[in-house]
């Protein structure tokens, strides 16, 4: 049954059409949200039902295996969670909300297609579908401050994005020139024969660049702080979490290209990883805007994820996947709190969280768990992920990298702790109590439980990730 192979994508595509029709009429944001939310939830079920599908479509350009299906499930879940907690969509003008949901859905669709692509052009188109939708989401924020900050962010996002895409396309043209094919399956053996040649290495590195941009790895990180700051809180929540899962999935697929003789690529990844960690963590130390801080912390986390890739082994890839899924949950938990505390969708400074434990104990706990988890304190998922990444990298013989990563953990704790400190030690002064709806409460409890459960019992998830990675190697 070929239809089942393409079911999640097809479903979201149809959903986008419905949303398109909805957006042409005079429908408010509430109805559009109801439609999108039901779409997203059903999509999770569809993805779950298609979890064990296998096969290929469109003349072998599109592979469906356990790896792609698992990542699709995770992406759909992330999408659904973002919709679940962004109940009011405070930062977006009501008039454009249907369009907002339309592009959000399209972006997710792009990501779902991306993880199944095994042909360079398909990959490119899927990536652009998701990226362009995101570019459009950023300027949709209402112009509360009058500074038109969102426009500046959007322009930066597009420009950086286009450059990254250009680099990737250039790399793809090299790959095609070297091997005469755009199919990864055929490309792989031919590339192995010329692994020593600089052209092949440059080609791979450039193609990786497109995904480094998505994942915000140094030096493709510079869009992050401004876009995080300029986009509305809900948009940032999405940009900061869901596309990164897809990016890691694609990086895993592509890094596998470089094995077994990918020593220069490994060196490249190591350097980028170290730069990302230090740059992200050091700059995050001095941030006052919490979204900017999380942006830089995201750069550092991207550096951690690369630790798994440098091993060039199945276990390493699996831990990278595990870590990015953990990161998805941790950052969603953090952004949930930001979205809820922000009263009218404005940006939050770290100080705006003062005394949160009196204004809303549950949100305070969620934020503390999220921060401690990102800092890599047990028993949360961040610790287990980091521990496994370090073990893998050490096993592969990268001791200096491991030590640098460990030092980074110590640096990072300061800014995560300063958030917790403000939440628990500062007095709320005259800041109002935070009203949290039942749904957001349930989601935050759920996220906290997942963060703890993944940290204490990583076995099943790691097994799933390993099975998934095995499917593509």
Partner 1 sequence: MDFLIMNHMGFPILSALIFLPLVGALILLCIPGETAAKNWTMLVTVVTALVSLPLYWNFDATTAKYQFGEHASWISALHINYTLGIDGISLLLVLLTTLIMPLCVLGSWRYIDKRVKEFMICLLLMETSMLGVFMALDFILFYLLWEAMLIPMYLLIAVWGGPRKVYASTKFFLYTLAGSVLLLVAIIALYLDQGTFSIPTLMGQDYSTNFQILIFLAFFLAFAIKVPMFPFHTWLPAAHVEAPTAGSVILASILLKMGTYGFLRFCLPITPEATMIFVPYILWLSVAGILYGGFTALAQQDMKKLIAYSSVGHMGFVTLGIFVLNQQGIEGALLQMINHGITTGALFFCVGMIYERTHSRELDAAAGLGKYMPVYVSFLAFFSLSSLAFPGTNSFVGEFLILVGGFANNKIVTAFAIPGAVLAAAYMFRMLQRVVWGRPVNPDHSGILDLNVREMVTLAPLLFFVFWIGLAPAPFLKVMHVSVTHLIEQVGVASGGTVSVAKLMIP
Return residues touching partner 1 (CB under 8 A).
Answer: 357, 361, 368, 372, 377-379, 383, 387-388, 390-391, 394-395, 402-403, 406-407, 409-410, 413-414, 417-418, 420-421, 424-426, 457-459, 462-463, 466
Report how far residue 245's alpha carbon sits from residue 78's, in angstroms, rounded to the nearest whole number: 9
Kindly tell me which of 140 and 330 has the beta carbon lying closer to partner 1: 330
Q: How far is the CB of 398 from partner 1 (least distance, A)?
A: 12
Spatial distance between the Cα atoms of 331 and 345, rounded to a whole number of angstroms: 18
Q: Which is nearer to partner 1, 230 or 382 (CB)?
A: 382
Closer residue to partner 1 in complex, CB, 216/381: 381
Least distance (Å) from partner 1 to the CB of residue 458?
Answer: 6
Strand-pairing partners, residue 183, are 119
Q: Give the whole-angstrom CA distance, residue 6 versus residue 348.
A: 41
First to last CA, the chain: 25
In the complex with partner 1, the residue whose CB is nearer, 199 or 410, is 410
Q: Which is nearer to partner 1, 50 or 305 (CB)?
A: 305
Cα–Cα nearest to 87, from 340, 409, 348: 340
Closest to partner 1 by CB, 14 or 410: 410
User: Least distance from C-beta 362 to partner 1, angstroms?
Assistant: 11
Which residues is 285 bridged to in the sheet? none
* Rounded least distance, CB 357 to partner 1, Å: 7
Q: Is the bond preceding 75 in cis, omega lying within 30 degrees of 0?
A: no
Which C-beta is closer to partner 1: that of 17 or that of 406? 406
Tell me how far, at minimum, the Cβ of 381 lies from partner 1, in Å: 12
Distance of CA 37 to the CA centre of its chain: 20
Distance in Å, CB of 406 to partner 1, minimum: 4
CB of 55 or CB of 400, closer to partner 1: 400
């Amino acid at each position: 049954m070929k239809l089942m192979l393409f079911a999640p994508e097809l479903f979201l595509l149809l959903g986008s059409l419905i949303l398109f029709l909805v957006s042409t009429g005079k429908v408010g944001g509430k109805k559009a949200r109801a439609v999108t939310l039901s779409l997203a939830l059903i999509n999770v079920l569809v993805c779950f039902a298609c979890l064990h599908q296998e096969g290929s479509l469109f003349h072998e350009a599109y592979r469906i295996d356990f790896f792609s299906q698992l990542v699709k499930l995770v992406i759909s879940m992330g999408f659904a969670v973002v919709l679940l907690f962004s109940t009011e969509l405070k930062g977006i003008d009501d008039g454009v909300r249907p369009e907002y949901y339309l592009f959000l859905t399209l972006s997710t669709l792009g990501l779902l297609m991306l993880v199944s692509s095994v042909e360079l052009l398909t990959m490119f188109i899927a990536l652009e579908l998701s990226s362009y939708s995101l570019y459009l989401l950023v300027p949709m924020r209402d112009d509360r401050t009058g500074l038109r900050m969102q426009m500046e962010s959007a322009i930066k996002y597009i420009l950086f994005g286009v450059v990254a895409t250009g680099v990737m396309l250039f790399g793809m043209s090299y790959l095609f020139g070297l091997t005469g094919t755009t199919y990864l399956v055929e490309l792989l053996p031919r590339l192995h024969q010329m692994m020593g040649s600089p052209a092949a290495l440059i080609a791979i590195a450039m193609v990786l660049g497109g995904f480094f941009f998505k994942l915000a790895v140094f030096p493709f990180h510079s869009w992050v702080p401004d876009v995080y700051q300029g986009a509305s809180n809900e948009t940032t929540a999405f940009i900061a979490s869901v596309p990164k899962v897809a990016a890691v999935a694609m990086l895993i697929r592509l890094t596998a290209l470089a094995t077994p003789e990918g020593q220069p690529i490994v060196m490249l990844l190591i350097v980028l990883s170290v730069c990302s960690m230090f740059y992200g963590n050091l700059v995050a130390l001095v941030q006052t805007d919490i979204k900017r801080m999380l942006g830089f912390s995201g750069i550092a986390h991207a550096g951690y994820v690369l630790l798994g890739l440098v091993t060039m082994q199945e276990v390493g890839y699996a831990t990278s996947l595990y870590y990015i899924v953990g990161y998805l949950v941790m950052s969603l938990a953090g952004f949930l709190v930001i979205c809820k505390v922000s009263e009218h969708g404005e940006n939050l400074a770290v100080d705006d969280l003062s005394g949160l434990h009196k204004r809303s104990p549950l949100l305070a706990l969620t934020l503390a768990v999220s921060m401690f988890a990102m800092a890599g304190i047990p028993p949360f998922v961040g610790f287990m992920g980091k521990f496994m990444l370090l073990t893998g990298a050490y096993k592969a013989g990268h001791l200096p990298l491991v030590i640098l990563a460990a030092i980074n953990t110590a640096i990072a704790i300061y800014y995560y702790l300063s958030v917790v400190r403000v939440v628990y030690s500062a007095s709320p002064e005259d800041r109002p109590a935070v009203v949290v709806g039942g749904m957001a409460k349930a989601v935050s409890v759920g996220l906290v439980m997942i963060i703890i459960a993944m940290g204490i019992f990583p076995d099943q998830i790691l097994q799933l990730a390993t099975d998934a990675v095995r499917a593509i190697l």
